Chains A and B, each alone.
Chain A
């Protein structure tokens, strides 16, 4: 297909969302090519490097039981050769050009990146456009790489008791939604995946209309857009991507799971089902998260680790950058001689304070300052800026990123109490506990 510059410029959008100061300015150019490929460009000239990323809207969310782990295994296979660049060549070409490359898979996306000196940008485009359409999926390479992924699972999960417990906690929290299984897949499922499964997964999800290219760095947007079009513009649009229809029903009571493993100390994770970044409540939940868990002055650290000395570590996290609603969870590692009951109660004391008393002016302002400073400091890394754009765009819309700080600034004390009461209920909670057992 010939490129027609006028056509792909239809959605050219230069966004200057700056109304309230530095942190708001996005400076992102958005373009959609005729084949559906979305391109986000952000010039950043502070050092002569560039990050090139391709984000596919496919992850564990798009899998099924019996074959979990397909997206992650396919991510591995994307390095095992395409038409122009055969097996072993991909990373070698990047490295020979002074670049670093890697990829990562989540429940919602699979992303590939190359970080390079700015004048090598075109190499990344050549490599990525080739494997977007011409993956080899060599049968022998496939069997060997499947073994590598099993080793990865052994390393990250089987031999890590806390990870094993968290995996079980997620499996318990979600009953009807694919967020229940781990991104790497269950061990038996990894073994069940065939080369044909890979082929099908690839053909279904790896198409320009299911991908976003994000480039941040020292380049000229006009020239770069022309190059993206040159390399990706002729890739034919793929078929409509199948929708994930799963909806997790309302939870009707607390769920608890205990995991007995050889371990030194118990640990506890308690997750509440909450809305994602597309909800207006996400801003209050983010501020709440910060007050609970950001820095050594945060409530969970102060209470459980510092004052009571019952936890070795304690914190809270909110999975808001998620296609479907996910969890807000609090966690703690238990100090020797302390009981998981005591620590669990102490976690809920802090949760209940959020519901029953307004946070202080200082805490609210601190959370807002942390969000603002964090946003500005994050601009130091081109890779991280591109990663945020890719994540937001893939699960929802990158423009939400530009509205993030305004949303945080608008949060009031009452909002925090309200969301805490609404979501942090016992019936909406799933608790995972790691119970150490001694060697047989």
Chain B
């Protein structure tokens, strides 16, 4: 592969054909994006509080379901890190009427897939089946969400597996550096929970912990169900009403949690490992998805390091200097402010040079306005690639879920272009100054420190 996934974003429409690159820039900039007029789907609130988002797609006899439940790490007790995640993963490991093996046999037999997993803000459940098996699929989905038994043997097995997986990940430089960075930025905040925290808790996890978390957090109230595929509104609403009728509401409540620590200077953490590359992560707390500056940040970050080969970091560090295969920056915009992070790997000997160039680029985006061409190119890509963000059922389900979680409205695809096109050079300078602060950053450098000879 020539490059690893570079922050996939969005789209434009230009009539006519390409004559020269410069001319296309002008065209793409001048012609506004055109979108289909119809909304992405329907929103239906069921009697039990479940929010159904439905996008009918009848081209293929397939149904894709994606559910979001407010049962992520953010609501787990601070002294039980990993509880949310392990609870989610145990749902498919046995119910009142099915063993773990029966569940996997039934879903595998129809060639479908079913999984539940944890996350920072939400737990998510995903189902994909052929149209003809949609009844069976919903039987299984409802059963694992409503009737899990948390058998002690299954808990023991999952704990053992998770601990082994955590140990294995210590082979992966990217994971080690990433975890250290997360801890440095978020501290005791739930977004800062690491493998080490989880490994310390798991040996004392109890069935009671899991059952309590489950009954407090899993229920139809505020549960989001995005369905994309070969079904009608009537069918889906009936299926949900029938299968989830007896689901008891979750108790909920928002437990308070710690704030991320203040970083008072450039906080450098050197980690020694006998590997050929320095793995470098630097950054700080960024923005939430609902921050009004979100769109300005998206455009700014595209220019800085989110835009693949169109970004400054890639141009400087990879294209001009040949120092790295991958260098990028990202803002994890979640329910709460997630991390702004710059990430790269370079041979140990060139770590100092790469870091110096990253700092140069951070300083430049904070002090100099971006060029008109950079701004136009970023907008052209972000608006023009929107159809590619909706070209599979799973992607549409993901967008529907985001629309509900972040209150974006079902006309979000139609509004997206104007949200992006409204961003100015001044906005970009302002948000870069506001959300990127090289003097108050966490920096993790993992590698062979003898060769790295870090100057920071």
Contacts and interface: CB of A to CB of B under 8 A. Distances in A.
B421 interface: no
A154 B1 CA distance: 14
B39 interface: no
Interface in B271-313: 274-277, 307-310
A190 to B, nearest CB: 12
Contacts of A117: 11-13, 384-385, 387-388
B346 A99 contact: no
Contact of B387 (A48, A95, A335): A48
Given A47-B390, A144-B322, A335-B164, A155 B345 contact: yes
Of listed A92, A335, A382, residue having the most chain B CB within 10 A: A92
Nearest to A373: B111
A49 B388 contact: yes
A295 B104 contact: yes
A350 interface: no
Contacts of A151: 277, 322-325, 345-347
B377 interface: yes
Contact of B325 (A48, A105, A148, A264): A148
Interface string B175-219: 000000000000000000000000000000000000000000000
Contact of B310 (A91, A123, A297, A380): A91
A48 B388 CA distance: 9
A88 interface: yes
B171 A97 contact: no
A162 B169 CA distance: 12
A294 B1 CA distance: 26
Interface residues of A, number: 86
B237 interface: no
Interface in B6-24: 6, 8, 10-15, 17-18, 21, 24
A180 interface: no
A98 B383 contact: yes
B309 A377 contact: no
Contacts of A380: 60, 62, 392-394
B324 to A, nearest CB: 5
B379 to A, nearest CB: 10
Interface stretch (A171-179, A206-214, A279-287, A364-372): A364-372
Given A100-B388, A117-B12, A154 B347 contact: yes
Contacts of B15: 119
A120 B283 CA distance: 37
Nearest to A379: B60
A264 B108 contact: no
Interface in A266-309: 294-298, 302, 305-306, 309
B111 A372 contact: yes
A104 B4 CA distance: 11
B390 A298 contact: no
B171 A263 contact: yes
B160 A335 contact: yes
B276 A376 contact: no
A302 B163 CA distance: 19
Contact of A122 (B18, B59, B113): B18
B152 interface: no
Contacts of A369: 109-111
A78 to B, nearest CB: 8
A265 B168 contact: yes
Contact of B108 (A88, A162, A296): A296
A309 B324 CA distance: 39
Interface in A331-387: 333, 335-336, 362, 365-366, 369-374, 376-377, 379-382
Contacts of A89: 21
A88 B167 contact: no
Contacts of B345: 151, 154-155
Contacts of A294: 108
A229 to B, nearest CB: 15
Interface in B337-365: 345-347
A76 interface: yes
A159 B276 contact: yes
B242 to A, nearest CB: 24
B325 A297 contact: no
A414 interface: no
Nearest to B3: A102
A297 B164 contact: no
A381 B172 CA distance: 31
A98 B111 contact: no
A262 B157 CA distance: 27
Contacts of A298: 108
Interface in A208-264: 262-264
Contacts of B11: 98, 117
Nearest to B327: A151
A93 B274 contact: no
A147 interface: yes
Nearest to B384: A98
A92 B377 contact: yes
Contacts of B36: 48
A370 B310 contact: no
Contacts of B130: 373, 376-377
Given A294-B108, A309-B157, A98 B12 contact: yes
B385 A99 contact: yes
A79 interface: yes
B168 A46 contact: no
Nearest to A151: B325
A148 B28 contact: no
A137 B380 CA distance: 29
A120 B385 CA distance: 11
A170 B157 CA distance: 33
B45 interface: no
Of listed A115, A159, A309, residue having the most chain B CB within 10 A: A159
A162 B384 contact: no
A74 B14 CA distance: 32
B386 to A, nearest CB: 7
Contacts of A265: 164, 167-168, 171
A120 B392 contact: no
Interface string B144-172: 00000000000001001101110110111
Given A88-B315, A95-B310, A155 B326 contact: yes
A119 to B, nearest CB: 6
Contacts of B321: 144
B270 interface: no
A199 interface: no
B440 interface: no
Contacts of A95: 307-310, 377, 380-381, 385
B52 interface: no
A376 B28 contact: no
Nearest to B64: A380
A160 interface: yes
Contacts of B161: 305, 309, 312
A369 B61 CA distance: 14
Nearest to B108: A295
A379 B128 CA distance: 14
Interface string A64-101: 00000000000110010000010011111101111110
Interface of A: 22, 45-49, 75-76, 79, 85, 88-93, 95-100, 102-105, 115-120, 122-123, 126, 143-152, 154-155, 158-162, 262-265, 294-298, 302, 305-306, 309, 312, 333, 335-336, 362, 365-366, 369-374, 376-377, 379-382, 439-440
Given A95-B310, A98-B385, A151-B322, 7 more contacts: A96-B24, A102-B1, A144-B320, A148-B322, A154-B276, A297-B101, A298-B108
30 contacts: A45-B59, A46-B60, A49-B388, A95-B308, A96-B28, A96-B310, A96-B381, A97-B28, A98-B28, A98-B383, A115-B391, A122-B18, A126-B17, A126-B18, A143-B322, A147-B323, A148-B318, A151-B277, A151-B347, A154-B345, A158-B277, A159-B275, A297-B105, A309-B157, A312-B164, A333-B168, A336-B167, A366-B111, A369-B111, A381-B391
Nearest 6 A/B pairs, CB to CB: A98-B384, A373-B111, A147-B322, A144-B322, A295-B108, A296-B104
